[in-house]
Structure 1
Amino acid sequence: MIETTSKPTGCASRPLRLGVLDLVPQAEGAAAEQAVAEAVLLARLAEQSGYGRYWAAEHHDLPGLACAAPEVLLAHIGAVTRHIRLGTGALLLPHYSPLKVAETFRLLSALLPGRVDLGIGRAPGGPAHASMALSGNFLQRVYGMEQSVQALIELLEGTYVYEGHPVQANPVPSTEPALWMLGTASKSAVYAARNGCGFVFGAFMSDEEPSEVLASYRKAFVPSRRLAEPQTLVAVSLLCADTAAEAAELAKESRNPRPEGSEQPQRKHQIHGTAEEAAAALQKWQREYGNDEFLVMNPVWNYEARRRSFELLAACVLNHNDR
């Protein structure tokens, strides 16, 4: 973890849009029921505080993470919220049939019109044996990712044909889910751009320069039926507390995800401090990357502390936007 070197200059002065990226942690000693109840509570708090999105991540057989089926969690959250957009960060497409994914998220979109984001990724989301138990030869399925993405797009556009026969993913909602691709490198960004999808850059899990990755996406973007102009989100790890000292103490117990094969947590785009310091960091990144919307992942498994963190950040950044 690092603290921003930017000096606090008060709350954000340029409009910023924020969303929540929730790994759905299961704290030590907490039951699974409490973990998912806390996710629901966080989503409702996010909506009340002005966050525009709540996204849940998918993981399998990883200790301390309680969400293996984000689409199920999102369906419940949608029933107890009113307008916040709900999405996956990410649904791991190589594990699944594109038809089943399209059907599931079209159903969600029918239940929650205009509120569903389908964020897809290609990571296994867990150890090798869990991946094999879930979907067989995962590497082989990753090799077929391009075909899976194309099939998913065609299913969402109503143009998919299998062996000469049209196949429709039902139900057909009035508003399709918004399709996003998540990645940590320029290759993923360009692939998202060429498919006319929104792109989410996982900055807190990447050592690539975000401005270069986002520039490669914008340069390669091809307008599609789903998206006329390039659209980006930047995911960061951010922990706020009432004082910098309290944030530093909480950071000692934080759990930031790390890139595959890395023995040390990635330090860039992982911030802890006061809300004013966090706002200064977000403003700096906003200027550098030309990006106005960020997904915030909180690395603390202490439920009360992470709720407080999102409250403080919203009071500083989102409430300021309304002034």
Structure 2
Amino acid sequence: MKGLKLSILDLVPVFENRNDTYALEQAVLLARTAELLGYTRYWIAEHHGMPHLACPSPEVLLGHIGARTERIRIGSGALLLPHYSPLKVAESFRLLASLYPGRIDLGLGRAPGGNAHVSMALSGNFLENVRKMPDKLREVAELLQDSYIYEGEPVGARPSPPVQPEVWLLGTNKKSAEYAAEFGMGYVFGQFMSDVDGEEVLRSYRESFVPSTLCSKPKVIVTIGVICAETEDEAMQLANSSATATLFQKELTDGKTEAYSERKLLVGTSRSIKTSLEQMSEMYGVDEFMLVTMVPDYYKRLRSYELLAQELWNS
């Protein structure tokens, strides 16, 4: 598995009998551990109004985590662009990139990140904001390339970092892949949330990619759920927990659900998961996977990442 890179997507979950502050402390611990283990990136998801997810503002938490780590790339997975002004987004991530040069990733998404009323309270008509997504992506790209014009006047995003943030678009279908290709951005395919054919989505991205100063050639990361344990039985028990099933469950044709979809979630020992990742790497033509481990125990979540890292890089 030489050359394969692994990264982490953290939803910053609040598990039973714990509070938000504890969950945020665990996010810092996970980022610091990921750095020590050799993971490439640590990204934070954005959610609003969800009692069991503790991060509505990735850029704020990234500022704290950047100060507690030294080398690992850190970023948003994703910052939900329909809610925000492109200028404010560019300013926030240029500030992070100035504080932590060469380490910042701006991952963008177009999901609401919460229910309808939370979305309306946050930014008004979400569907109208989603309709503006291509314009907002273009503006973010122009701001990061210092070429943005507003009403005939140049507008810059300060500060100006020594190394620009890497820009990625996250998605689960061909529409998001088309946007990433059109605007010359890296693409992160959310396999853990998608039932579509990932090979076709990634092929369309690569074939349509337009090089930019942000990204000169197609770059792909595949995000997949992973539960790794000492034994297959323990891994299966964790996979069948309610916290895991809610995120990775599979809809059946009769309207019922399975505990999880094997397309979305890899479950097993470090050796079996390593084999699965090797197969996916060949199938998708990618060398980087971003892992989501959602089990209702902070220690076992951390242990899952540790076991896999030991198998991949110390075996």
Q: How would you bin the TM-score normalised by the shorter chain? A: over 0.9
SS at match of 1:199: strand
**Correspondence for 2:44:** 56
Are the aligned partners of 2:97 and 2:164 in contact in 1 as well (CA < 8 Å)? yes
Shift of 1:86: 0.3
**Correspondence for 1:83:** 71
Distance 2:174 2:193 in 1: 14
**Correspondence for 1:100:** 88
Shift of 1:267: 4.3
**Correspondence for 2:215:** 227
Which segments of structure 1 move beyond 4 Å, counting only runs of 4 or more? 261-267
Shift of 1:49: 0.2
Superposed CA RMSD: 1.6
Higher RCO (C-alpha 8 Å, min separation 6): 1
- The runs of 5 or more residues in structure 2 that have no matched partner are none
Output the amino acid matched with 1:126. G
Give runs of aligned pairs for residues 1-323 of structure 1, distance below 5 A.
13-253=1-241, 254-255=243-244, 256-257=246-247, 264=257, 266-320=261-315
TM-score, length basis structure 2: 0.94
Distance 2:87 2:146 in 1: 11
Are the aligned partners of 1:57 and 1:67 in contact in 2 as well (CA < 8 Å)? yes
Are the aligned partners of 1:275 and 1:316 in contact in 2 as well (CA < 8 Å)? yes
SS at match of 1:257: helix
Query: Can you list the C-alpha shifts for 1:278-313, whole angstroms capped at 9, x where unaligned?
Result: 101100100111111000000213100000000001
Are the aligned partners of 1:16 and 1:318 in contact in 2 as well (CA < 8 Å)? no
Distance 1:117 1:306 in 2: 23
Distance 1:184 1:62 in 2: 21
Shift of 1:48: 0.2
SS at match of 2:314: helix
- The runs of 5 or more residues in structure 1 that have no matched partner are 1-12
Are the aligned partners of 1:57 and 1:88 in contact in 2 as well (CA < 8 Å)? yes
Percentage identity across aligned positions?
51
SS at match of 2:117: helix
SS at match of 2:158: coil
SS at match of 2:53: coil
Task: Say how many residue pairs are matched.
Answer: 307
Query: Can you list the C-alpha shifts for 1:169-222, whole angstroms capped at 9, x where unaligned?
Result: 100111110100001011211220111100000011111111111111111111
